Amino acid sequence: MSDVAGTTSRGSCPVHGMGNRPSPYYHETMYAELAQARRDEPVFYSPETGYWIVTRYDDAMAILHDHDRISSENTSDSASPVHQDAIDIMKAGNFTAEKVQSNCDGERHTRVRNASAQLLNIRTFTAMEPAIRDLVTKALDRLEGRQSADLLADLTYELPAQVLFLLLGIPQEDMDKVKAWSGTRTILNFSPSTYEQQIAGARDMVAYWQYCVDLVRKRMESPGDDVVSGLLRVRNGDDSILTLNELTTVVYGLVFAGHETTTSQLTNAFRALLTYRDNWEAICADTSLIPFAVEETFRYCGAVIGWRRRAKTAIEIGGVTIPAGGNIILSFGSANRDEKHFEEPERFDVRRKNARKHLTMGNGKHVCLGAPLARLEMKIVLEEFTRRFPNVRLAENAKVEHAYTYVFRAPRSLPVELR
DSSP 3-state assignment of 364? coil
Of 186 and 261, the one with the shorter C-beta distance to ligand HEM is 261
- Percent composition of the chain: helix, strand, coil (DSSP 3-state, to 5): 50, 10, 40
CA dist 297 and 303 (Å) reads 9
143 binds ligand HEM (CB under 6 A): no
Check residue 322 for interaction with ligand HEM (CB under 6 A).
no
Q: What is the DSSP letter of 156?
A: I
- Of 33-41, 77-85, 276-284, 301-309, the segment contacting ligand HEM by CB under 6 A is 301-309
93-132: which residues touch ligand HEM (CB under 6 A)? 101-102, 113, 120
318 Rama class: left (phi>0) / alpha (psi -120 to 50) / beta: left
| CB distance 363 to 64 below 8 Å | yes
Q: Which of the ranges 9-17, 131-139, 174-182, 363-371 carries the binding residues for ligand HEM, by CB under 6 A?
A: 363-371
Query: Does residue 301 contact residue 27 with C-beta atoms inside 8 Å?
Result: no
Pick 73 or 417: Cβ nearer ligand HEM: 73
User: What residues have CB less than 8 Å from 107, skipping those under 6 apart?
Assistant: none
> Which residues are CB-neighbours of 238 under 8 A, at least 6 positions away?
none
Phi, psi of 164 (to 5 degrees): -65, -40
* Residue 75 found at the interface with ligand HEM (CB under 6 A): yes
Is residue 360 involved in binding ligand HEM (CB under 6 A)? yes
63 belongs to the binding site for ligand HEM (CB under 6 A): no
Q: At 405, which amino acid appears? A: T
Is 76 a binding residue for ligand HEM by CB under 6 A? The answer is no
Query: Judged by CB under 6 A, which stretch of 239-247, 303-311, 321-329, 348-356 contacts ligand HEM?
Result: 303-311
From 128-136, 280-288, 369-377, 397-405, span contacting ligand HEM (CB under 6 A): 369-377
CB of 366 to ligand HEM, least distance (A): 3
257 in contact with ligand HEM (CB under 6 A): yes
CB of 262 to ligand HEM, least distance (A): 4
Give the residue at shortest CB distance from ligand HEM.
370
Nearer to ligand HEM, 19 or 24 (CB): 24
Q: How far apart are CA 115 and CA 274, in angstroms?
A: 40
Q: Note whether 369 binds ligand HEM by CB under 6 A.
A: yes
C-beta of 170 vs 361, nearer to ligand HEM: 361
CA 75, CA 163: separation in Å to the nearest integer?
25
What is each CA distance from 202 to 178, 199, 330, in whole angstroms?
A: 15, 5, 28
Minimum Å gap between C-beta 352 and ligand HEM is 18
305 belongs to the binding site for ligand HEM (CB under 6 A): no
Residues 50, 335: Cα–Cα separation, whole Å? 20
| 25 in contact with ligand HEM (CB under 6 A) | no
Asked if residues 336 and 300 have their Cβ atoms less than 8 Å apart, the reply is yes
- Give the span between the Cα atoms of 372 and 1, in whole angstroms: 25
Interface residues toward ligand HEM, by CB under 6 A:
64, 72, 75, 101-102, 113, 120, 253-254, 257-258, 261-262, 265, 303-304, 307, 360-362, 366-370, 373-374
